[in-house]
């Protein structure tokens, strides 16, 4: 059962209870008030009747039952001729219960009159034959003979008819009120719980994978707070899922790139070997095939070496020792091929000593230098620098080449990511160079910092701890 229908039914029940009890009480009070006023009025009528009868009896000086009966008959006769038989309704009886006169309706039975007399002159009794309601008042007639009683009967059916009408009208009113209130409550509670349903639908969508679903803000403070919390949770989940997806995509890309990098040279090697193996190829083709086989094998060798180095770095730590930066720069310069297309400009503090693994740091700088040269520096030079910074020395490799777009920067250290693939391939890059650099930097407890602008050039910085020789 939903909260909104519970609320609606609760309101309906409470309202129905209040209206029913309140209505019952009010209508009963109305009848009570009408009865009281009718009692007062009828008492006055009764007293008037009594006085008039007493006067009549006195006037006739009726001292016996017979005389009294005659006197009452006369009085009634006069009354009837002046106001009509319908407007009065009384009975006179003596102490023994003999009725001297009666103009009562048949439905009012004799014992009713006796019990009214028994109740005495200070009381009001009722009788209700069928659907009629009568008020019965009895009083002794004084002044002439003892034991004469006047019993007046007044029709109060109208009061009860009026009460029935009020009941019917109230029932109609109550039903109308309930229908209106029920509709309003249902609408209102439905409206009130709308944020909850929005939350539910959002939670379901999220369960089905729509992690970008959010709930809109709403007016009720509690629901709004809940919605905000939900949105925060959703945002946390979404970012976590995104991170996982990115990681997974990175893995997929790595596998795809690795497969490509592995299979491409293998295809050439196998194809040319097969060609040579089949038959006597012309000398020119034979030379070309051998050349391709050699270079592609070399490529595979570089790939496997770098991959193993990368795996080794990721698995085990390295031993750091103080190394003079100028020696590292000299190593790099020596390791470059004779036909290296760019000049190397070094700007190094001769006393700069850092904590590093000399050969790994050399590989790192060399890779950065190769990349810088590939970028095609406009001044034909790669600048190496080492400057003092707080907490150590900052090594930097700067070129004035093509540079990279900002959106490329986060991915350049990813394995096999190549900004310009054909250029990189021509230069013999495997796509692992920068990954390796980043991994070496990580092993030294620091990180590479790239700053690049397309068309202007790139600077890579590395902060290393100072070492003492």
The single residue among 87, 201, 267, 335 that binds other proteins, judged by CB under 8 A, is 267
Residue tagged 């990349």 (tokens): 371
Written as one string, the DSSP assignment of 75-86 is HHHHHHHHH-GG
Shortest distance (Å) from residue 166 CB to other proteins: 9
The single residue among 288, 297, 302, 309 that binds other proteins, judged by CB under 8 A, is 288
User: Is residue 130 involved in binding other proteins (CB under 8 A)?
Assistant: no
User: Is residue 245 involved in binding other proteins (CB under 8 A)?
Assistant: no
For the beta carbon of residue 357, count every other beta carbon within 10 angstroms: 18
What six digits make up the tokens of 369? 């230098």
Find the binding residues for other proteins in span 76-115 (CB under 8 A): none
Query: What does residue 101 show for φ and ψ, rounded to 5 degrees?
Result: -155, 145
Shortest distance (Å) from residue 127 CB to other proteins: 8
Shortest distance (Å) from residue 213 CB to other proteins: 24
Q: Which stretch binds other proteins (CB under 8 A): 263-271, 304-312, 320-328, 429-437?
A: 263-271
Find the binding residues for other proteins in span 402-431 (CB under 8 A): 418, 420-422, 425
Query: Of 30 and 74, which CB lies nearer to other proteins in the complex structure?
Result: 30
Reference 351, options 314, 387, 397, 405; nearest CA is 387
Reference 364, options 339, 326, 396; nearest CA is 396
Shortest distance (Å) from residue 295 CB to other proteins: 8
User: Is residue 376 involved in binding other proteins (CB under 8 A)?
Assistant: no
Shortest distance (Å) from residue 352 CB to other proteins: 39
Reference 141, options 242, 245, 25, 54; nearest CA is 54
What six digits make up the tokens of 348? 């190094």
Find the binding residues for other proteins in span 160-189 (CB under 8 A): 160, 163, 167, 170-171, 174-175, 178
Query: Of 67 and 276, which CB lies nearer to other proteins in the complex structure?
Result: 276
457-465 and 392-399 beta bridge pairing: antiparallel
Using an 8 Å Cβ cutoff, are 110 and 96 in contact?
A: no
CA 138, CA 92: separation in Å to the nearest integer? 9
Using an 8 Å Cβ cutoff, are 127 and 136 in contact?
A: yes
CA 426, CA 161: separation in Å to the nearest integer? 111
Q: Which stretch binds other proteins (CB under 8 A): 17-25, 215-223, 366-374, 445-453?
A: 17-25
Query: Of 146 and 208, which CB lies nearer to other proteins in the complex structure?
Result: 146
Written as one string, the DSSP assignment of 306-345 is HHHHHHHHHHS----EEEEHHHHHHHHHHHS-TT-SSEEE
Q: Which stretch binds other proteins (CB under 8 A): 47-55, 87-95, 361-369, 403-411?
A: 47-55
Q: Which stretch binds other proteins (CB under 8 A): 36-44, 66-74, 79-87, 333-341?
A: 36-44
Q: How far is CA 403 from the centre of its chain?
A: 48
Q: Is the dihedral of CA 334, 337, 338, 340 positive or negative?
A: negative
The single residue among 244, 256, 308, 406 that binds other proteins, judged by CB under 8 A, is 256
Using an 8 Å Cβ cutoff, are 199 and 230 in contact?
A: yes
Query: Of 44 and 405, which CB lies nearer to other proteins in the complex structure?
Result: 44
Query: Of 137 and 198, which CB lies nearer to other proteins in the complex structure?
Result: 137
The single residue among 7, 20, 231, 414 that binds other proteins, judged by CB under 8 A, is 20
User: Is residue 49 involved in binding other proteins (CB under 8 A)?
Assistant: no
What six digits make up the tokens of 148? 């004469």
User: Is residue 225 involved in binding other proteins (CB under 8 A)?
Assistant: no
Shortest distance (Å) from residue 453 CB to other proteins: 22
CA 384, CA 345: separation in Å to the nearest integer? 6
User: Is residue 147 involved in binding other proteins (CB under 8 A)?
Assistant: no
Shortest distance (Å) from residue 327 CB to other proteins: 38
Shortest distance (Å) from residue 170 CB to other proteins: 6
For the beta carbon of residue 56, count every other beta carbon within 10 angstroms: 20
User: Is residue 439 involved in binding other proteins (CB under 8 A)?
Assistant: no
């Amino acid at each position: 059962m939903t909260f909104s229908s519970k609320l609606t039914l609760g309101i309906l029940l409470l309202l129905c209870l209040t209206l029913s009890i309140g209505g019952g009480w009010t209508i009963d009070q109305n009848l009570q008030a009408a009865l009281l006023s009718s009692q007062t009025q009828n008492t006055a009528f009764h007293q008037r009747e009594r006085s008039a009868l007493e006067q009549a009896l006195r006037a006739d000086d009726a001292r016996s039952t017979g005389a009294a009966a005659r006197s009452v008959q006369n009085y009634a006769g006069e009354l009837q001729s002046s106001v009509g038989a319908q407007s009065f309704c009384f009975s006179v009886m003596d102490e023994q219960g003999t009725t001297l006169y009666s103009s009562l309706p048949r439905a009012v039975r004799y014992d009713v009159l006796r019990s009214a007399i028994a109740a005495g002159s200070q009381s009001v009794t009722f009788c209700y034959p069928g659907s009629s309601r009568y008020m019965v008042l009895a009083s002794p007639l004084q002044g002439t003979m003892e034991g004469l009683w006047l019993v007046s009967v007044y029709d109060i059916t109208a009061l009860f008819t009026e009460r029935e009408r009020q009941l019917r009208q109230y029932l109609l009113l109550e039903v109308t009120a309930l229908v209106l209130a029920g509709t309003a409550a249902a609408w209102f509670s439905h409206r009130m719980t709308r944020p909850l349903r929005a939350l539910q639908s959002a939670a379901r969508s999220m369960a089905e994978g729509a992690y970008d679903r959010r709930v809109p803000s709403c007016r009720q403070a509690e629901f709004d707070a809940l919605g905000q919390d939900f949105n925060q949770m959703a945002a946390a989940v979404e970012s976590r899922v995104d991170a996982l997806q990115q990681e997974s995509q990175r893995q997929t890309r790595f596998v795809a790139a690795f497969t490509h990098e592995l299979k491409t040279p293998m295809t050439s090697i196998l194809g040319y070997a097969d060609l040579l193996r089949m038959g006597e190829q012309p000398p020119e083709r034979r030379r070309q095939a051998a050349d391709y086989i050699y270079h592609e094998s070399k490529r595979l060798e570089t790939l496997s070496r770098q991959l193993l180095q990368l795996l080794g770095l990721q698995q085990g730590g390295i031993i750091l020792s103080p190394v003079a930066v100028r020696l590292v720069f000299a190593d790099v310069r020596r390791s470059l091929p004779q036909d290296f297309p760019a000049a190397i400009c070094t700007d190094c503090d001769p006393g700069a000593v850092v904590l590093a693994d000399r050969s790994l740091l050399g590989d790192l700088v060399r890779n950065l230098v190769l990349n810088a040269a590939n970028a095609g520096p406009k001044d034909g030079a790669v600048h190496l620098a080492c400057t003092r910074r707080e907490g150590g020395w900052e090594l930097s490799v700067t070129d004035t080449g093509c540079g990279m777009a900002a959106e490329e920067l986060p991915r350049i250290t990813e394995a096999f990511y190549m900004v310009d693939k054909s250029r990189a391939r021509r230069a013999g890059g495997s796509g692992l160079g920068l990954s390796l650099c980043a991994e070496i930097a990580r092993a030294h407890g620091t990180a590479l910092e790239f700053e690049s602008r397309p068309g202007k050039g790139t600077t890579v910085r590395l902060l290393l701890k100072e070492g003492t020789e």
